[in-house]
Amino acid sequence: MAQCTFEYLLSLLVTDAFLTKLLSHLGLDDTTIGIISSFITLAFVIQIFSLFLYKLKMNAKTVTLIFYSASRLLFSSLYVIPFIPIGSTTVKVVIMSFILVAYSSKYLVLNVLYKWANSYVSPTKRASYSATKEMISLATGIIFTLAVGYIFDTMEASGRIEQGFMMIAIMAFIISASDIICMLLIKKEETASVEQSERKHFKDIISNTIGNKNFRSVILFTIIYNVAVYMTNGFLGTFKVKDLLISVFIIQVINITGNITRMAVSKPFGRYSDKHSFASGMSVALCILALGYLTLVFTTPKTWYFIAFYTIFHAVAIAGLNQNSFNIAYSYVDSNYITEALAIKNCIGGLCGFGASLLGSRILKAVQNNGNELFGIKLYGQQLLGGISCLLVLIALAVMVFVVGKQKVMKQ
């Protein structure tokens, strides 16, 4: 639980307003910032290579520590970059490389870490354990971001923004060290190995994953959903900071409100999904997510507070989507091929999501170059992207209700 909390705290420092402030300070434009913020989708592609980790012939603890430690170090080093005397072009290459390699190292061993750490949790209590673990992380994150956001804003207001970056860098290194120490304290279990006891033939893997009609519909949903989300989300950090002119502290207050709401609805969403189906739970969440993107269409500097409504709707939707997106694979794929199925699904979805972020950057740049106007109407690029994402989420909802939700569920 502590390891997951430290991991979550570090993720808060390398996303949204904090990352946007850093990248803007380094001279990167809005579209580049949006693409960098969407690198997480490209990193999902690396999960396909986790199928070959058994060739390293290491136990789960060793292989996780190697790649996860590299990821923590690179993420923490981001806030040291402003103090390195390098040119603007080199800065872009360095920061893109750090973020991409950091995410790739993390997602390469994410499934290994999940299996190893959860081997100490009773199978009959994993759902409640996960819910409790998430609530601890969210509650700790609320206090952490509120404090860090306030201190950073104070430093920036007094012209000491680089000192603010140094403060974040120190915190990031301390959190990373704590994260690694927690992993060192988790016992090494001989059975928790990345080496597969049974080698599966490629033909069997394809037959039980992509060859499975029901699973293909899950992949179709994932593609549409990822395109909808990453078309817009990577560009909201700059929208909040540069266009809506919201301070880091206020952004963290808004995020905290969203996290509190997410904590409140997490277990009710779980009970609803258990009673009906994973598809039903995700369908309700998608309706709420569509409403969230719709609010972005009406968000301007004059109605900047609408971003709070989007944040709350998004947080509630994630509470219903995150906990069901993994479980729904169990409904349509043989449990012996779950690891391979998730790797394939995340790889395809990640590629499509990153492609969507590139398309989103082109749309945003076109609107900005036109003076934030479209057909003579004053419009920010993020408003247009929000409208596109809303339509795509509704399409994803239709696929979930009329295709995925109609399929026979496997009990395993």
Do residues 60 and 112 lie in contact, with contact meaning Cβ atoms separated by under 8 Å? yes
245 exposure class (CB count in 10 Å sphere: 0-12, 13-18, 19+): exposed
Output phi, psi for 247, to 5 deg: -70, 160
Complete DSSP assignment for 152-186: HHHHHHTT-HHHHHHHHHHHHHHHHHHHHHHHHHS
Question: Which run of H or E residues covers position 377?
Answer: strand 377-378
pLDDT in the model for residue 312: 95
61 exposure class (CB count in 10 Å sphere: 0-12, 13-18, 19+): buried
Cα-based angle 353, 382, 301 (whole degrees, multiple of 5): 150
Rounded Cα distance, 297 and 387, in Å = 6
Complete DSSP assignment for 194-246: SS-SSPPPHHHHHHHTTT-HHHHHHHHHHHHHHHHHHHHGGGHHHIIIIIS--
pLDDT in the model for residue 197: 42
pLDDT of the chain along its 412 residues, tens only?
Answer: 999 999 999 999 988 778 888 888 888 877 777 777 666 766 777 777 776 765 666 777 888 899 999 999 999 999 999 888 887 778 888 888 898 899 889 988 887 787 778 778 776 666 567 777 878 888 899 899 889 988 998 998 999 999 999 999 999 999 999 999 999 998 876 554 555 544 667 788 888 888 999 999 999 999 999 999 999 988 888 889 888 988 888 988 898 899 899 888 887 887 787 788 788 889 999 999 999 999 999 999 999 999 999 999 999 999 888 777 777 877 888 877 877 788 888 889 888 988 998 899 899 989 988 888 877 778 899 999 999 999 999 999 999 999 998 888 776 5
Output phi, psi for 134, to 5 deg: -65, -40
Rounded Cα distance, 79 and 18, in Å = 10
Tokens of residue 154, six digits: 């104070």
Q: What one-letter code names the amino acid at 55? A: K
Rounded Cα distance, 164 and 151, in Å = 8
Rounded Cα distance, 152 and 168, in Å = 8
Rounded Cα distance, 327 and 324, in Å = 5
Cα–Cα distance list, 88 to 24, 82, 101, 130, 238 (Å): 12, 11, 20, 43, 19
| Helix 16-25 × helix 248-275 angle, to 10° | 140
Task: Give the DSSP letter of residue 385.
Answer: H
pLDDT in the model for residue 133: 82
Task: Give the DSSP letter of residue 380.
Answer: -
pLDDT in the model for residue 393: 97
